[in-house]
Every structure is written in structure tokens, then in C-alpha cells.
Amino acid sequence: PHGCAEQITSQAFPQLALSWLLALSPEQQITAENNVREVINRLRSYQTPEGGFAYWPGEPYISEWATSYAVNFLANAQKQGYAVPIQMLQHATNYMRQVANSWNRTEPWSQQDQAYRLYVLALAGKPDLAAMNRLKETRLQRPVSQWLLASAYALSNQQEIATKMIRDLSFEVTPYRDNALILQSMVILNMQQDAYRMLEKISKAMGSGNWYSTQETSFALYAAAQFVQKYLGSQKGIDITVKTNSGNE
């Protein structure tokens, strides 16, 4: 009940796509939809007067990553038909564009923040091509930053630039969350075979029993659901038949 912005967003984000992964009963579908709506409403109390989102409700300090993450969730929820307050989302994307245009850092983590911010703006239908072009001319120190920026270009109908950016780009990254972000990018860039291999890697990690944060789990589940929805096309879960020597089970 007292979660930070990242925690409550992580709880609801995968529930946007549960029906892509599981055959939900009508009651389960209603529960998931109500959970998503609740988090959309709760995020109002995390938004600051400037438009960004604080880590905790009522705080005046904006968390840049939490802001991009919350808007990522809100934009996807809106695309899936949820009623997202227009003013809340508009205020947030305006703030993000201001930050994107004034950004001039060089640290690897800050580059990734900027790349994620620009990706989310493009996803929300508010691409900032000037800021994207400036970041593209920067020597990006983490592969995931380049994957995210390429996704932003693809979502902005700049497929040729996006394809050129990820040519020969490494798939091997250390942070677990980055694998899910790259899978998400591969789906956007229609790299089905590479995306499948990344999905296998993520699935093995999730089945390993290792501990992952709510945000890491959220990114992984939603990215996996995007792969299923795009390439398998099922909205009712996945049916599996295992053939053995004695017949079907």
C-alpha cells in the first residue's frame, strides 16, 4: 500500500499483457484491469507540479528514471484502451521533452536515462528528433542505450536509421534488466530470430530461482508478452501439446 513509483508501476505493467501470456478467466481479467486502473489513478499523487514523477507520493523531488518508467506504463495502457488522464500524460511528456532538450551529460547511466526517455517519448507519440539526433552523435557507452535509441527512431518512422544503428551491435549485456529492454527493442525492430534467442535467455534466467527486483521482473514479463503478441498473435494464452512416444499429453 505504500510502494514507491517504480514498485506500483511494476505491479501493474505486466498485467496490461497477462491475456497475451495466459488464458484468464473473466474474473481474472476483470481483476487485472482493475489493478491497472488503480495504479493509473494512484500515479496522480506521485506527479509533481513540474510534470515529472517523484519516487514517493507528495515528494517534491523528481526521479528521472521513475518518470520515464511511469510514462512508459501510461502510454502502453492508453494504447490498450485504458482511460489515462490526458492532462497527466501531457504534463509528463512536456516535462520529459524539456529535460531531453537540456540534457548534456556523458556518464553511461545518464546516457541510458536519456535513451530511455527518448524511447518513451516516441512510444507516447511525442518523438523529439532533435534530441535523438544529438544523442546519436554521442559515443554511447552501453549497448542498451543504442538499442533504446534505435527503437525511438523506429517508432518515429525512421527505420533506416534504426537498422543502421543496431547493425553489429552486441546482444551481450550484464544487467538483467537490459536484456529485457533489448528484447523489447528487437520486437519493435522486427528481429524475430534474435528476439527469440533473447527470450530464451531471459526465460532461463527467470526460471533459475535467482532473485530479481519488481522492475526487472516487470520489464521481462512485458517484453516476453510483446514477443508473444506480435509473433504468435494469440490473445487467449498459449496452448501446448507435448508429443511423446506413447501419444499426445
pLDDT in tens, the chain (249 residues): 569 999 999 999 999 998 888 888 999 999 999 999 999 999 999 999 999 999 999 999 999 999 999 999 999 999 999 999 999 999 999 999 999 999 998 899 999 999 999 999 999 999 999 999 999 999 999 999 999 999 999 999 999 999 999 998 888 777 778 999 999 999 999 999 999 999 999 999 888 888 888 899 999 999 999 999 899 875 454 555 556 665 555
Enumerate the β-bridge partners of residue 62.
Answer: 54
Identity (one letter) of the amino acid at 224?
A
User: Element (H or E) spanning 216, and its range?
Assistant: helix 214-231
Query: CA 234 to CA 247: how far, in whole Å?
Result: 25
Q: Which residues contact 83 (CB under 8 A, 6 or more apart)?
A: 37, 40
The number of beta carbons lying within 10 Å of the beta carbon of residue 23 is 13
Report yes or no: 16 and 76 within 8 Å, Cβ to Cβ. yes
Distance CA 115, CA 129 (A): 12
248 strand-pairing partners: 243
Distance CA 238, CA 247 (A): 20
Other Cβ atoms less than 10 A from the Cβ of 77: the count is 21
Task: Please answer whether residues 218 and 10 qualify as being in contact, where contact means their C-beta atoms are separated by less than 8 angstroms.
Answer: yes
**What pLDDT score does 75 carry?**
97
Quote the CA–CA distance of 31 and 230 in Å, as a whole number.
Answer: 24
**Cβ neighbours around 16 below 10 Å, total:** 21
pLDDT at 222: 93
